[in-house]
């Protein structure tokens, strides 16, 4: 256990940029959930069990709109379907974890958690279970605590766009994209994803641009394939 | 007290989400060796999906947002993520007041 403590604290340090980027959204979710009729308990339960920001935002929007329960569940599933692709990739990165460790690791796998884990692995930096927990648990605790806080004090944030807080997460994701620019096929993948996402956003509507745009980039990568002798880091 | 519909929807949504989180690995680990094209596709997933989340912000949300995204791309070439985040945040705030 003592041997894994440095790894845990290394994970906590790596979590700091995620905490800064995520913090406004945890509160925002709680506040919006309260506005859409969820109790503080329900808002906190949702953050603790679903634990996926974009889908939670979509979920509470539909709760407020009096829509059939199965459609809300299906919408949450659709927004989160990208996790299937993350899971397939990260399963190899965390291949050395035990079965129970994997089960917990996947429960805590968010966009930034996945991005940072893959980023470390790409640089050849070790990603043991203790490190993974150090990265994940502060973000989880913040996210769940803020849902309760935001729901109770929902009026604290009057209008988040006044302070441009709403733009932090897109900027953070953009930073992640730029960090991946050393990967094979990066430019054609990012180009295809951007074009398909913008087209899907315009013609199909949100949140389908995420799945369709992502699929376009992945399809381009599959068509180009791997150069002979090229070592892919997955 | 009966459990509300809201709670059932939250728990069903949580179960569906967990299945997406373990599903990819559970299905893929059945292959002994991953075909090269599948590997190339999987390798492209994070950049592809995160790009798809960001791209509409550069097009549909106004001039301040479009300019900030463009500037952030250039900043990210030179600066760590946190510095880019801070400058980008300040920039979009100022541009929204100005435009």
Asked if residue A174 belongs to a domain, the reply is no
Domain span at A83: 2-168
Chain B residues with CB under 8 Å of A215 CB are 48
Domain count, chain A: 2
Residues A65 and A159 in one domain: yes
Task: Find tokens 């150069």 and name the residue.
Answer: A227
Candidates A68, A11, A47, A200; CA nearest to B49 is A200
Q: Which of A181, A201, A234 sits opposite B39 (nearest CB)?
A: A234
Q: What is the pLDDT of residues A125-171, one digit of tens each?
A: 999 999 999 999 999 999 999 999 999 987 565 665 667 767 877 88
Residues A114 and A206 in one domain: no
pTM of the predicted protein model: 0.69
Chain B residues with CB under 8 Å of A220 CB are 44
Domain end call among A168, A200, A225: A168
Residues A138 and A192 in one domain: no
| Domains of chain B, residue spans | 49-98
Distance between CA atoms of residues B69 and B58, nearest Å: 6
Residues A26 and A97 in one domain: yes
Query: Residues B84, B72: contact at Cβ < 8 Å?
Result: yes
Residues A110 and A201 in one domain: no
Residues A33 and A121 in one domain: yes
Residues A148 and A48 in one domain: yes
Asked if residue A229 belongs to a domain, the reply is yes
Residues A146 and A48 in one domain: yes
Asked if residue A36 belongs to a domain, the reply is yes
> Greater confidence, B94 or A22?
B94
Q: Nearest-CA residue of chain B relative to A58? A: B13
Q: How confident is the model at residue A234 (pLDDT cuts 50, 70, 90)?
A: very low
Q: What is the pLDDT of residues B38-72, one digit of tens each?
A: 778 877 877 888 899 899 999 999 999 999 999 99
Q: Nearest-CA residue of chain A relative to B39? A: A234
Distance between CA atoms of residues A227 and A72, nearest Å: 43
Chain B residues with CB under 8 Å of A161 CB are 96
Q: Phi and psi (nearest 5°) for B31?
A: -80, 135
Those residues whose C-beta lies under 8 Å from the C-beta of residue A34, and which sit 6 or more positions away, are A40, A43, A150, A151, A152, A154
Residues A117 and A220 in one domain: no
């Amino acid at each position: 256990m003592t041997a894994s403590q440095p790894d845990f604290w290394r994970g906590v340090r790596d979590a700091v940029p995620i905490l800064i980027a995520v913090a406004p959204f945890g509160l925002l979710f709680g506040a919006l959930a309260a506005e859409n009729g969820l109790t503080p308990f329900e808002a906190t339960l949702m953050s603790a069990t679903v634990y996926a920001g974009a889908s939670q935002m979509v979920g509470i929007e539909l709760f407020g709109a009096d829509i059939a329960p199965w459609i809300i569940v299906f919408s949450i599933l659709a927004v989160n379907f990208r996790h299937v692709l993350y899971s397939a990739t990260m399963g190899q990165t965390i291949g050395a974890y035990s079965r129970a460790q994997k089960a917990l690791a996947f429960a805590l796998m968010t966009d930034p958690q996945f991005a940072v884990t893959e980023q470390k692995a790409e640089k050849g930096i070790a990603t043991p279970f203790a490190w993974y927990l150090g990265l994940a648990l502060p973000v989880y605790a913040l996210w769940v605590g803020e849902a309760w806080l935001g729901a109770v004090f929902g009026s604290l944030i009057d209008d988040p766009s006044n302070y441009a807080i709403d733009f932090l997460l897109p900027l953070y994701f953009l930073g992640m994209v730029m960090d991946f620019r050393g990967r094979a096929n990066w430019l054609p993948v990012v180009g295809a994803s951007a074009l398909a996402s913008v087209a899907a956003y315009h013609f199909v509507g949100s949140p389908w641009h995420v799945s369709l745009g992502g699929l376009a980039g992945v399809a381009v990568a599959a068509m180009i394939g791997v150069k002979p002798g090229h070592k892919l880091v997955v | 007290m009966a459990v509300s519909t809201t709670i059932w929807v939250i728990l069903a949504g949580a179960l569906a989400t967990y299945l997406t989180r373990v599903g990819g690995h559970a299905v893929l680990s059945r292959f002994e060796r991953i075909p090269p094209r599948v590997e190339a596709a999987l390798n492209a997933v994070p950049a592809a999906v995160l790009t798809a989340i960001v791209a509409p912000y550069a097009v549909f949300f106004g001039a301040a947002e479009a300019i900030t995204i463009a500037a952030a791309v250039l900043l990210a070439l030179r600066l760590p993520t946190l510095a880019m985040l801070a400058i980008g945040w300040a920039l979009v705030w100022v541009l929204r007041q100005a435009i």
